[in-house]
């Protein structure tokens, strides 16, 4: 992989920042400067250029921080600050892969866990399998929603009227 191909996302952000500056788009310029600084800090910590996947991870962290800030600003009755954070999220998300919908997420969770014998205690391994499947598809998913879906899939069926009808669930322990 060439150096230019490895830094595609970072270079795109640089290019877009220059374009925003020329267009005198103050808000977009400010957001992209913040993104560029975060990417540069990560690059300095790593002591090597970032791959697109690493850059996307930085952007994901920034989006999560802004969502937390929006929540805090709304609690603190500061709607103008919450709105600014929301606009920043829109700019940052434009550099991320497409976020999948709930139906698509369910399908990928089912595909990733099909044939595997994950139990309720295998949450970490199941999440890794699902996340690998999502990355393979070039998509991204909301972590909380994804975690809840995987957790629901791993839980033994509790809707049965007679829990003992078929005997104990495979892999279920009877000790507390």
Q: Is residue 62 predicted with pLDDT exceeding 90?
A: yes
Contact 73, 81 (CB under 8 A): yes
Q: Which residues pair with 140 in a beta bridge?
A: 99
3-state DSSP assignment of residue 99: strand
* pLDDT the model gives residue 164: 47
Residue 160: how many other CB atoms lie within 10 Å: 10
pTM above 0.75, yes or no: no
* pLDDT the model gives residue 111: 85
Residue 111: how many other CB atoms lie within 10 Å: 13
Q: How far apart are the first and last CA of the chain?
A: 52
HSE of 89 in the Cβ direction (CA atoms, 13 Å)? 15
All domains in the chain, ordered by first residue: 3-93 (1.10.1510.10), 102-154 (no CATH)
What gap in Å lies between CA 43 and CA 17, rounded to an integer? 18
Handedness of CA 45, 133, 145, 114 (dihedral sign): negative
Q: In whole angstroms, what separates CA 163 from the centre of its chain?
A: 36
Q: Whose structure tokens read 């009808």?
A: 165
Give me the helices (H) in 23-163, please: 26-46, 52-75, 79-93, 102-113, 123-136, 143-154
Among residues 105, 135, 129, 104, which one has the least CA distance to residue 116?
Answer: 129
Average pLDDT for 20-40: 96
Q: Is residue 67 predicted with pLDDT exceeding 90?
A: yes
* pLDDT the model gives residue 3: 40
Contact 39, 50 (CB under 8 A): yes
Q: How confident is the model at residue 104 (pLDDT cuts 50, 70, 90)?
A: confident
Q: Is residue 6 predicted with pLDDT exceeding 80?
A: no
Q: Whose structure tokens read 């975060």?
A: 38
Q: Is residue 5 predicted with pLDDT exceeding 70?
A: no
């Amino acid at each position: 992989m060439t150096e230019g191909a490895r830094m595609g996302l970072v270079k795109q952000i640089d290019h877009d920042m220059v374009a925003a500056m020329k267009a005198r788009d103050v808000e977009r310029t400010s957001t992209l400067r913040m993104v560029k600084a975060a990417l540069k800090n990560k690059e300095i910590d790593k002591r090597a250029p970032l791959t697109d996947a690493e850059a996307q991870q930085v952007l994901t962290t920034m989006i999560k921080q802004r969502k937390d800030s929006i929540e805090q600003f709304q609690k603190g009755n500061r709607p103008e600050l919450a709105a600014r954070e929301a606009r920043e999220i829109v700019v940052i998300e434009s550099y991320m892969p497409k976020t999948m919908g709930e139906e698509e997420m369910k399908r990928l969770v089912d595909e990733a866990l099909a044939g595997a014998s994950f139990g309720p205690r295998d949450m970490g391994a199941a999440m890794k399998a699902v996340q690998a499947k999502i990355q393979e598809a070039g998509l991204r998913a909301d972590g909380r929603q994804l975690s809840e879906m995987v957790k629901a899939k791993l839980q033994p069926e509790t809707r049965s009227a007679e829990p003992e009808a078929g005997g104990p669930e495979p892999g279920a322990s009877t000790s507390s």
